[in-house]
Amino acid sequence: MKEIYLDHNATTPLNNSIGRIINKYGKLLYGNPSSPYKIGKISRMEVEKSREKVARIINCSKDEVYFTSGGTESNNLAIQGSLNYLRRFGKINAKKRIITTEIEHLSVLNVFKELSKEGVKNYDVVFLPVDNFGFVDMEKFKSSIDSNTILISIMLANNEVGSIQSIKEMVKIAKSKNKNIIFHCDAVQGLAKIRVDVKDLEIDMLSISSHKIYGPKGVGALYIRKGVNIYPLFFGGHQEKSIRPGTENVCSIIGFGYACNLSRVNFDKNIELLTELKKYATNRILQEIKKITNVRINNPENNCLPNTLSICFDGIDNELLISLLNKEGIYVSSGSACTSESLESSHVLLAIGLSPNLARNTIRISLGIGNTKKELKIAVGKIRKIILKNKLILRKN
């Protein structure tokens, strides 16, 4: 059975050539990058070459790139690290406001939830609502920023519905109110699917992750603009300027660097392909499935990731559909991979105004550069068959 993978926002398959590079370097580059002799120095050189590749895709200087274990750690380090610095160095003397949105990935949302807990008295936490397509209302955003606001964290693109926020405009608004506000952006889903330029965004910190761009898992980076201060979450050696100590994950960092390079060089070609595939999938779903049940497209038509479709099939339980598709070798999800094992409805779908029932009727299809129209035709055909069969079962009962 040929497998059809349609869940690229959860993770992407490792690029073949990167896989070969990692295997090759895995044996050769065993030296610790901090060691003073030849094999250590070679490892150091490769880590620094990768840092340059990562810096290039987001347009920053290599000194502003800090390697981490992935998007989750980058988000935690950015938010907790910058607040810890302010607290430690006396800049928090009253209750301070920190702002995020209701549709963040859990690695941001749960940090803000922790900071809003009763025992933590230092923060007045704002979770901004979004509209029916997952966009933050600019007026609400503006009015939420007060003179006590010290940190804002808003994602560039949403992992479930694909909405792309106007981060550049938001940064401008925030800085015009108070230039000391720290603005962090989770760009894990945006990288390689839309252009990410930290200088153009004028952002203070930005998180990215390797496994969403066909690189290895367990590695990512945090961009920290020169002049922005972070207090580390871990303490140890001097790696990553002591902001993120621990022996570097050399092979994965090398793979991440290559993934950034490939994504940058092939950007236009990849976006064209994804856009075409998404249009094809959307049309086929509307043509084939609208005849048999109501279909609601949750993702916005414009300002949306070129690979992300969030579709609600009226009355069809998404877990059942996903598990029956799985038996056919077709892999889609109900939303974020991090929440797929919980029975709760997706917080993103509820935030865009779906009822818990409609949220449970929603699947996410996230396309990748390895997909073909033929695969999409097969997948939509299988969805149709399953829905028809399922409806029959429902009717019999």
Q: Which residues bind ligand PLP (CB under 6 A)?
A: 70-72, 75, 105, 107, 155, 159, 186, 188-189, 209, 211, 220, 337
Which among 112, 206, 211 is positioned nearest to 156, based on CA atoms?
206
Closest contact distance (angstroms) between CB of 165 and ligand PLP is 12
Question: Of 251, 304, 312, 338, which residue is the catalytic one?
Answer: 338
Q: Which is nearer to ligand PLP, 75 or 310 (CB)?
A: 75
Closest contact distance (angstroms) between CB of 105 and ligand PLP is 3
CB closest to ligand PLP, residue no? 71
Q: Which is nearer to ligand PLP, 125 or 337 (CB)?
A: 337
Do residues 108 and 75 touch, judged by C-beta distance below 8 A? yes
Q: Which is nearer to ligand PLP, 5 or 313 (CB)?
A: 5
Q: Which is nearer to ligand PLP, 154 or 289 (CB)?
A: 154
Active site residue 304: no
Q: Which is nearer to ligand PLP, 8 or 278 (CB)?
A: 8
DSSP character string of 198-261: HHHHT-SEEEEEGGGTTS-SS-EEEEE-TT-----SS--SSGGGGTS-S---HHHHHHHHHHHH
**In the chain, which residue ranges form alpha helices assigned H by DSSP?**
16-28, 38-58, 71-88, 106-115, 138-144, 167-177, 198-201, 250-265, 267-289, 318-327, 347-351, 356-359, 373-396
Q: Which is nearer to ligand PLP, 189 or 346 (CB)?
A: 189
Closest contact distance (angstroms) between CB of 128 and ligand PLP is 16
Closest contact distance (angstroms) between CB of 272 and ligand PLP is 23
Indicate left, alpha or beta for 91 from its phi (over 0: left) and psi (-120 to 50: alpha).
Answer: alpha
Q: How many CA atoms lie within 13 A of 334 on its CB side?
A: 25
Alpha carbon distance 42, 174 (integer Å): 43
Please state the φ and ψ torsions of residue 159, each to the nearest 5 degrees: -75, -20
Cα–Cα distances (Å) from 192 to 163, 165, 188, 303, 362, in that order, read 15, 16, 9, 15, 25
Name the residue with tokens 């990058």. Answer: 33
Coil/strand/helix, residue 101 = strand
Closest contact distance (angstroms) between CB of 247 and ligand PLP is 19
Cα–Cα distances (Å) from 317 to 280, 285, 314, 351, 380, in that order, read 24, 17, 9, 20, 16
Closest contact distance (angstroms) between CB of 27 and ligand PLP is 26
Token pair in block for residue 264: 């940058």
Q: Which is nearer to ligand PLP, 111 or 325 (CB)?
A: 111
Closest contact distance (angstroms) between CB of 315 and ligand PLP is 28
Which of 209-227 are b and which e, b meaning 16 or more Cβ less than 10 Å from the residue's Cβ?
bbbbbbbbbebbbbbbbee
Please identify every residue annotated as catalytic: 338
